[in-house]
Amino acid sequence: MNLEKLKDFVTEKLENELSDKLTYHGVHHTLGVLEICKQYVSRMNISDNDARLLYTAALMHDTGFIRTYDNHEDESIVYAKEILPNWNYSELEINKITGMIRATKIPQKPLTVLEQIMGDSDLDYLGTDLFYSIGETLFNELMAFNKISSREQWDSIQLNFLQKHKYHTPFAKEYREPIKQKFIKEISKKLR
């Protein structure tokens, strides 16, 4: 099993097969989540093997968008189960990886530390100064897929999402949550 070769394989697949309308859930998002996972591993006591499984989950977590927009996590899990045996992952490892992918489904319900890291990495931007710029790419994507129809609807959905969202890792609770709370206040004011 070579993680770099798997990364190249998945990246090429996403680049070639994802819809151009995926302005948020593109290959850049997948690679960004992978990098954030690496930052968590450097901060925490994660074994090399668990880190490898986490990185694999990060690479695989949005592959389901190749097949469907709705319930893409379920398709990502199906795809992971299809291809990872060919990359010499054991059944136990694949179960851990699919658990991490499942942990990105909204509402997030992580059961393990690795699932917490995966969930927080996937939505890291909610508590960073990139919130509005990355959020704009999601707005454009949702408009392109006819999931929303106006800026006002978007602001309302964003506020509701931010209010319900919870970070799971100690790092995100300490460093991302306060920034996210600032955005909740800003959007609340805008909607008044």
Give the model's confidence band at 99: pLDDT under 50 very low, under 70 low, under 90 confident, else very high: very high
Q: pTM of the entire structure?
A: 0.96
Domain count, the chain: 1
Q: Find the angle CA(81)-CA(11)-CA(82) to the nearest 5 degrees.
A: 10
The predicted pLDDT at position 62 comes to: 98
- Looking up residue 22, the CATH number of its domain turns out to be 1.10.3210.10
**In terms of C-beta density within 10 A (0-12 exposed, 13-18 middle, 19 or more buried), how is residue 33 classed?**
buried
Range of the domain at 23: 3-191
